[in-house]
Structure 1
Amino acid sequence: MPAKGTSPFATFLIIGPTCFFLGILFALFPYDYHVLWSTPTATAAFGHAADPTLAPADLYFLLQENHLKFLHASPPLISRILHIVIGTGLLGFIMKLYKPSEANMLFDGASLALYMCGITVYIANIVKGLRTVTDDAYLGGVAPEATSAAGDGEYDYIGREDSLKVLAASNTILALVLCGVLILQAGQWYAQRKEAEEIEEMDKVRDEKKKAAKEGGAHGKKKQ
C-alpha cells in the first residue's frame, strides 16, 4: 500500500524511462569499457587473431566507431521513440511536482535536476559526438552537410581517439546520473513509508490512551 502523499503512477513514469535509458547504456558498456579502462589482446577478446596490422586499442576504437555509426544511421522511428520516453519522464516529474509537499520538493526536485543534467549530457556530448563520428569530422574535418559560423563547413572537434573516449565517458556519466535519480526516488519512498509508519504508531498510541481514559472513567462511575 503506497504511503500518503505519494503518486505511484507518476513515480512509475519516472522510474520506467530511467531504467530504459540505463538498459541502453548497459548495451553500450562492452564497447565503452575497452575504450576507457581495459584493452585486452584481440586473441583474448575474440578467441582468434585479428588483423595483425591493427593495434589492440585501434581494434576497439574501430568497433566502437562502427557501432556508433550504425546507431546514428538507425531509422527516424528509433529517435522518436527515444524522445517520447524522455518526455514521459518529464511528465512524471511535472505530475509529482504539481502542488508539491516538502518531500516532493527535496527528493523530486533533486531528481529532476539530475534528469535535466542527463538530458544536457545527451544533447551536448552524445548527439554532437554521434554526428562527429558519422561525418568523420575529427580535428576540424569537413562534414558533408555542415557549415560553421564562418560558412567554411568545418567542425571544431578534437581527434578521433579523444572524441570516442569523450563519448564513452559521457555514457558513463549519464549512467551515474540516472542511478542517482533511482536512488533519490527510492529514498523518497523509504522516507515516506517510515513517516507513514510513525504516524500510524502515534495514532495507535493515542487511541490506546483514549481507550484507557474511557475505561478509567467508567470504573470511577461504577465505584460511585
Structure 2
Amino acid sequence: MDPSKVSLFKTYDKPRGQGGSGSFATSMIVGPVCFFLGMLFSSFPYDYPLLWTSDVTPAAYYDLLEAHLKFMHASPPIIPRILHIAISIGFIGFFIKLFKPSEANLLFDGASLVLYLVGVVVYITNIVKGLRIITAGVYGAPEGSTEVAIGREDSLRVLSASNTILALVLVGVLVLQAGQWYAERKEQDEVAEFEKVQEGKNASKTQKNVTRSSSKKKQ
C-alpha cells in the first residue's frame, strides 16, 4: 500500500469519529453568525445613506437615525441578554470543535475563532460605546481630554461603518466554515475512491490466486 495513502487514513480517521459532535458544533457557530447578519441587514437601510451614496444626507435624516438608535439602546433587558446568549453559543461551538483539534480544525476553526473575536471586539468597543454616546447625546471629547473629538454626524457614520466591518467579519467566518466543510467532503470522497480501488485490487489478486490454485490441482 502507498505510504501516502496510509497517512491519509490516519489523518482522516479522527475527524470521521467526531463527525456527529463536529456537525452540531458547526451549527452552533453558523446559527448565531447568521442571526447577527440578519440583525445587521435590518440596520442596512439606515446605514446606506451615510456610507454608500454620494448624495447629501439631509439633516432630518440624522434626527431620524439618532431617534432609532436611542430606541434600540433603550430596548428591554431581555433583548441584549438574548444577544449575549447567542454570542456565548458561538464560543461554545468553537470550544467543542477545538477541544481535540486536527490540522483542519486548527486552520479553519482557528481562523474562524480569531474573526469571531474581532467581531466581538468591534461590537463592544465601537457599537456598544457608540450607542451609549448617542443615547447620552454627549458628542466630542470632554474638556481637558486628549481624545480626538468627533461630532454628531461623524459619530453616526462611525457606528454605521462599524456595522459594515462587523458584517464583513461574520461573512469571513461563514466562508471559513464552508471551506472546512468542502475540504472534509473532498477528503472523504478521495478516501472512498481509494478504498474502492484497493477493493478492486484485492479482488483481482484473490481471483488470480484462485485461478492459480485451480490450475495446480488440474496438473
Q: TM-score, normalised on structure 2? A: 0.86
The structure whose residues are more often helix, as a share, is 2
Report 1:187-202 matches (<5 A): 187-202=179-194
Counterpart in the other structure of 1:52: none
CA RMSD of aligned residues (A): 1.9
What's the secondary structure of 2:75's corresponding residue?
Answer: coil
Matched, 1:14 2:29: yes
Counterpart in the other structure of 2:81: 80
Alpha-carbon distance in 2 for matches of 1:62, 1:100: 50
Matched, 1:29 2:44: yes
What's the secondary structure of 2:124's corresponding residue?
Answer: helix
* Amino acid aligned to 1:35: L
- Asked whether the 8 Å contact 1:35–1:60 carries over to 2, the reply is no
Counterpart in the other structure of 1:98: 99
Alpha-carbon distance in 2 for matches of 1:163, 1:221: 87
Alpha-carbon distance in 1 for matches of 2:47, 2:101: 39
Matched, 1:223 2:215: yes
Alpha-carbon distance in 2 for matches of 1:218, 1:100: 46
What's the secondary structure of 1:99's corresponding residue?
Answer: coil
Q: Please state how far the C-alpha of 1:156 moved relative to its aligned partner.
A: 6.7
Distance 1:113-1:56 versus aligned 2 partners, 3 A rule: closer
* Amino acid aligned to 1:192: E
Q: Please state how far the C-alpha of 1:140 moved relative to its aligned partner.
A: 2.9
- Asked whether the 8 Å contact 1:35–1:57 carries over to 2, the reply is no
- Asked whether the 8 Å contact 2:50–2:160 carries over to 1, the reply is yes
User: Structure 1 runs of 4+ off > 4 angstroms?
Assistant: none
* Amino acid aligned to 2:60: L
* Amino acid aligned to 1:14: I
Counterpart in the other structure of 2:121: 120
- The alignment covers a number of residue pairs equal to 198
- Asked whether the 8 Å contact 2:29–2:89 carries over to 1, the reply is yes
Counterpart in the other structure of 2:110: 109
Alpha-carbon distance in 2 for matches of 1:56, 1:120: 29
Alpha-carbon distance in 1 for matches of 2:126, 2:149: 11
Alpha-carbon distance in 2 for matches of 1:56, 1:98: 50
Q: Please state how far the C-alpha of 1:39 moved relative to its aligned partner.
A: 6.3
* Amino acid aligned to 1:9: F
What's the secondary structure of 1:138's corresponding residue?
Answer: coil
Q: Please state how far the C-alpha of 1:157 moved relative to its aligned partner.
A: 4.6
Alpha-carbon distance in 2 for matches of 1:36, 1:65: 16
Q: Please state how far the C-alpha of 1:58 moved relative to its aligned partner.
A: 1.5
Q: Please state how far the C-alpha of 1:60 moved relative to its aligned partner.
A: 2.2
- Asked whether the 8 Å contact 1:36–1:169 carries over to 2, the reply is yes
Alpha-carbon distance in 2 for matches of 1:167, 1:63: 15
Counterpart in the other structure of 1:165: 157
C-alpha distance after superposition, 1:50-71 (max 9, x if no partner): xxxxx84322222211111000
- Asked whether the 8 Å contact 1:17–1:89 carries over to 2, the reply is yes
Unaligned runs of 5+ in 1: 41-54, 143-149
Q: Please state how far the C-alpha of 1:141 moved relative to its aligned partner.
A: 5.9
Identity of matched residues, %: 56
Alpha-carbon distance in 2 for matches of 1:198, 1:157: 58
Matched, 1:63 2:64: yes
Counterpart in the other structure of 1:133: 134
What's the secondary structure of 1:98's corresponding residue?
Answer: coil
Alpha-carbon distance in 2 for matches of 1:99, 1:120: 26
